[in-house]
Structure 1
Amino acid sequence: MQVVRVAVLAFEGASLFHLSVPGMVFGVRPVPSGLAPYEVLYCAPTPGRVRCDQGMEIDVPGGLEAMEHADIVIVPSWNHPERTAPAALTAALQRAHLRGAQVVGLCLGAFVLGDAGLLDGRRATTHWACRELFIQRFPMANFLPDVLYVDEGNVITSAGTVAAIDCCLNLVRQRDGADVANRVARLLVTPPHRQGGQAQYIEQPVPSSHSENRLPGVLEWARKHLSEPLSVDVLADVARMSRRTFTRRFREATGATVLKWLAAERIARTQLLLETTDLSIECIASEVGFGSALTLRQHFATQLHTSPSSYRRLFCETKRTFRSNRRK
């Protein structure tokens, strides 16, 4: 069973959080899994001791040549988005991209991908705080300012902090399926894999009352009852809140309306069933609570820009491709 190699760039002043995200996500393997393991290697423009943003130093033995044999290359943020990234680094990313590796820019790491010319004509995102600078520096990119991450096949960019976890979980989902990605998320005690089109959480208030702390339980309850006709009133009753209070706190906690959140959760469940079962589209529509195949297809097209049947076919083809590449 061939190992999936992941090369993560380390550099002076790198965010310790973003450096650790790939190791956390790809280092957790549900047991028993029977899946090819991931090997996470850190590399730097100049091998040796690298000081992180919190003052800690880490030893990075490998140089940029680690990118030459990696299946996934990750730039986890960047310190100076206003400056052009070093030529040696952008050239290494270009070579990795040309031979078919997935090149990922987490948070401000998207700026490095832009400097490498990998975002021209492609959709991309980055941390919301640097959106104006990104638009100014990369006018040829199709910038999406409010999404968690953008998957353009072998070029992927994400927003900041927690969105980096969602982005890496999406890479796991591509190779191993939604069920494995969600199991990894549970082991990390993080929310299940979220679609990249969901909004960035620009402001995330800390729960301030006992009633507000009940909201996560309501979300989990809703996920277990997606096949039922859920509404704001139903969820407010479960939370034991008034409709008005629940609506406000739901938006504060999720960054979305109840209807949008339910639609996203139902699409995520649809993806899982398309990937792991042979159920018909009609049966899946009933299982996830859309009611009819037509409604499912409409929501699926709106969120994922494809049809359920095309998604199932593409997922199967992608899985075969990944497995074929591993055997080479």
Structure 2
Amino acid sequence: MHSIAVLALDQVIPFDLAAPIDTFSWARLPDGGDAYRVRVCGPEGSAGEVSAGVFTLRVPYGLDALAEADTIILPGVADPTVPLPPGVAEALCAAAAKGTRIASVCVGAFVFAATGLLDGLRATTHWIAAPDLAEMYPAVTVDPNVLYVDNGQFLTSAGSAAALDMCLHMIRRDYGSAVAAQAARFAVMPLEREGGQAQFIVHAQPPAPAGATMEPLLAWLEENAERDLTLDDIAAHAGTSARTLNRRFREQAGTTPLQWLHRARVRRAQHLLETTSHPVERIAEQVGFGSPTAFRDRFKRVVGTSPQAYRRAFQSS
């Protein structure tokens, strides 16, 4: 039986804690036996409790459980910038040195990164927190577009729900696809989800600085995004050359006019995919793409999944 230790620090995020516990508990061996033993541990062990938002959690095991585990799970905490409690980093590094697998959930990546174990590796976390993780730990290569990253011994997952994807992936690594597929059925979710975290990111346009001379042009582009505009068309409206327009646009909006226009079109397409049953071909025309093929290609590059997959994931009713 594989031993799992879930490290619960104070102010732990409840679903970050529950997702791995439930997923590993659903895994059954072919003979019906449990595939995993899951234990919740913390710095205070059985003598202490940790806050989990709306409730308080008793922690029955201490940090010594980390040394006995085959896998350690690091859930997120409400304030991931708080320094680690004494002994936690040391216990995690000692376990890693023995070859223990360590995986983080959501902003648990901050706990992981604080140990130095992720230095030089690719990692992910919730897309909202990804810029902060990259800033605090520049030695870590942060990828905000994926559901999870598997470096072999060390894994990181995005939002709490992505922990389910990561845990199912680990079950498949440990026991094969049949056991993992059965756990996925109990969890009422696919063994593999299409697309990555990018499909959940709100792709807002970069704001122009206050008083920027491009503000009227940005408003005009937003109003005319469905038109088949070229760079020369935009430059003519702005009363300047294409080269000058590109330079000023980059200075003030952080991107090119056509890239800005494509993102505006994709945002409109996302809304239509969520709220209408219009065919993809019609939506491509409505939002201003020259062809359905160009639309699908641009949508995939911006959102990280296909228009059809996005509609299945986000359309109400």
TM over 0.5: yes
User: How far does the alpha carbon of each residue in 1:301-328 deviate from its partner, in whole angstroms, 9 at most, with x for none?
Assistant: xxxxxxxxxxxxxxxxxxxxxxxxxxxx
Q: Which residue of 2 aligns with 1:257?
A: 306
Q: Which residue of 1 aligns with 2:11?
A: 13
Matched, 1:128 2:127: yes
Superposition deviation, residue 199 in structure 1: 3.5
How far apart in 1 are the matches of 2:309 and 2:189?
A: 20
How far apart in 1 are the matches of 2:29 and 2:68?
A: 27
More displaced stretch, 185-194 vs 88-97: 185-194
Q: Secondary structure at the match of 1:129?
A: coil
Superposition deviation, residue 146 in structure 1: 1.1
Q: Which residue of 2 aligns with 1:66?
A: 65
RMSD: 3.2
User: How far does the alpha carbon of each residue in 1:275-299 deviate from its partner, in whole angstroms, 9 at most, with x for none?
Assistant: xxxxxxxxxxxxxxxxxxxxxxxxx
Q: Which residue of 2 aligns with 1:27?
A: 25
More displaced stretch, 75-84 vs 142-151: 75-84
Distance 1:104 1:200, change over 3 A: farther
| Equivalent residue letter for 1:86 | P
- Following TM superposition, the consecutive aligned residue runs of length 4 or more in structure 1 with deviations greater than 6 angstroms are 245-248
Q: Which residue of 2 aligns with 1:243?
A: 280
How far apart in 1 are the matches of 2:194 and 2:5?
A: 24
Superposition deviation, residue 190 in structure 1: 1.7
CA contact (8 A) 2:29 2:179 kept: no
Structural mapping, 1:170-319, within 5 Å: 170-194=169-193, 199=198, 201-202=200-201, 242-244=279-281, 256-257=305-306
CA contact (8 A) 1:77 1:110 kept: yes
| Equivalent residue letter for 2:151 | E
Distance 1:86 1:189, change over 3 A: same
Superposition deviation, residue 6 in structure 1: 0.2
Residues paired across the two proteins, number: 223
| Equivalent residue letter for 1:40 | V
Superposition deviation, residue 50 in structure 1: 2.2
Distance 1:93 1:196, change over 3 A: farther
Unaligned runs of 5+ in 1: 204-235, 262-328
Q: Secondary structure at the match of 1:5?
A: strand
| Equivalent residue letter for 1:53 | G
CA contact (8 A) 2:196 2:305 kept: no
More displaced stretch, 62-71 vs 31-40: 31-40
How far apart in 2 are the matches of 1:14 and 1:192?
A: 26
How far apart in 1 are the matches of 2:3 and 2:199?
A: 29
Superposition deviation, residue 132 in structure 1: 1.6
Superposition deviation, residue 63 in structure 1: 0.8
Superposition deviation, residue 148 in structure 1: 0.6
Q: Which residue of 2 aligns with 1:158?
A: 157
CA contact (8 A) 1:149 1:196 kept: no
Distance 1:50 1:82, change over 3 A: closer
How far apart in 2 are the matches of 1:107 and 1:257?
A: 24
Whose radius of gyration is greater, 1 or 2? Answer: 2
Q: Secondary structure at the match of 2:27?
A: coil
Distance 1:102 1:129, change over 3 A: same
How far apart in 2 are the matches of 1:132 and 1:243?
A: 33
CA contact (8 A) 1:11 1:44 kept: yes
How far apart in 1 are the matches of 2:13 and 2:195?
A: 22
Superposition deviation, residue 130 in structure 1: 1.2
How far apart in 1 are the matches of 2:33 and 2:307?
A: 36
How far apart in 2 are the matches of 1:166 and 1:16?
A: 17
More displaced stretch, 157-166 vs 27-36: 27-36
Fraction of identical pairs, as percent: 36
Distance 1:122 1:195, change over 3 A: farther
More displaced stretch, 78-87 vs 89-98: 78-87
CA contact (8 A) 2:184 2:190 kept: yes
CA contact (8 A) 1:108 1:127 kept: yes
